Amino acid sequence: MEFETTAGAFDGVRRARAMAEFAEWQLITRHHDRRVAEIDRSDDIVLSKELARREVTLEIAQALRVTERHVWAIVFETETLRERTPAVWAAFRVGDVDASRASAIADTAERLTERESWEALERAAITYASTHTVGELKGWLRRFRARIEPEQAAAETARAVETRRVSVTHNDDGTSWLNALLPTGVAIAAAERLRKAARALPGIDPETDTRDTRTRDQKQADILGHWLTSCTGTSTDIRAEIAISIAATDLIGLTTGPGITRDGEPLGHEWVRELAASEHTVFRRLVLDPMGGVLDTTVLAYRPTESLRQALHWRDGTCRVAGCRAPVFETDLDHAQDYDSGGETSARNLRCLCRKHHNMKSHGHLAERHLDPPASWTERYVTSAPPLLN
């Protein structure tokens, strides 16, 4: 009862903050629209009108102590929401979604080209946005767009891939950032290979008998530096693994939905089909229920089998605590009901928890209400109303 009261107070604060953000957006857009309308009615030349509009943006930005770009983004996103997803704008008004979520939805609405897609986004986005973090919402929006308008999404990806590049940014402390803009699939494969190579390093140097005290991040940075600077090639034959799920109909070309990585990122179906044709690709079949859930498997032992572990990694995607985005390879498999108390080693009783949340659960500080249900990438969107039956 006490938690419900506290939770209600927190929700009230969250809603009040969102409504205050809406009030700011509305004040900005109303002032901007009014002033721009006055400028457009004047007899000034075109260049003078354009400069006057910029002055309006500058005045607002200076009054709010923000950048002109920030003001223009609010004006543009407000127009997008009101014209393409008015229900989202209404949800923002009453505090169901806040500014960051409204902005993410507006960005997706702007990228969509069909009115039916706007309507499908409007119907589905509000519920998801009001119950998930901003990071989860942005992932959901990427999957939504890849599924609802696959051809447009693929064209945008192709244009973005053309800008791939490597850059170096120098810091003031003798370090520098080496940045690479790569296709998503390649980036995930490279990161996975680095992770596996770092894990494969021995804890004690066999030549010097000294313990390796580097962190995982330090090991990965050192390995990458070695790979890129060694003139004799790499010192490991570890292959990268990139885990992708894709509907059979998408894989054989009957439909054009995206492949989905284990953490929920969409990948173009053409790239996934090309990958599937590679002689190095390994297929693993997971038996799913009609809603995409992994069917139950029980092991008569404390430790799950590798096949069950992989299935649970697919099912959960990340740590199961709501809002936690720790990837599954950094999680433990936790028994919801302790094994020593009769809990099964089964899909029904196991869930992925990162080490921090696993420790909290083990010491009685992680209630079931803090957990999300298993992730599901089986998302379907109705683009038009079904016909009425006579």
Give the end of a domain, one of 131, 157, 190.
131
First and final CA of the chain: distance in angstroms?
49
Residues 103 and 196 in one domain: no
Residues 173 and 202 in one domain: yes
In a domain, 196, yes or no: yes
**What is the C-alpha to C-alpha distance for residues 263 and 257, in angstroms, rounded to an integer?**
17
Pick the range with the lowest mean pLDDT from 102-106, 163-167, 190-194, 237-241: 237-241
Domain tally, the chain: 4
Query: What is the band of 390 on the pLDDT scale with cuts at 50, 70, 90?
Result: very low
pLDDT for the residue numbered 284 = 61
**What is the C-alpha to C-alpha distance for residues 189 and 196, in angstroms, rounded to an integer?**
11
Residues 250 and 355 in one domain: no
> Model confidence over 265-308: pLDDT tens digits?
888 777 777 777 776 666 665 555 555 555 555 555 667 777 78
Residues 224 and 254 in one domain: no
DSSP 103-126: HHHHHHHHH---HHHHHHHHHHHH
Q: What is the mean pLDDT of the chain?
A: 84
User: Mean pLDDT, to the nearest integer, of 162-187?
Assistant: 91
Among 150-164, 236-250, 303-317, top mean pLDDT goes to 150-164
In a domain, 186, yes or no: yes
Residues 12 and 57 in one domain: yes
pLDDT top residue among 244 and 56: 56
pLDDT for the residue numbered 75 = 96
Close Cβ partners of 221 (under 8 Å, ≥ 6 residues apart): none
In a domain, 38, yes or no: yes
Using only C-alpha atoms, what is the Rg of the chain?
25
> Model confidence over 12-33: pLDDT tens digits?
999 999 999 999 999 999 999 9
Range of the domain at 47: 2-131
Query: What is the band of 240 on the pLDDT scale with cuts at 50, 70, 90?
Result: low
Residues 256 and 318 in one domain: no
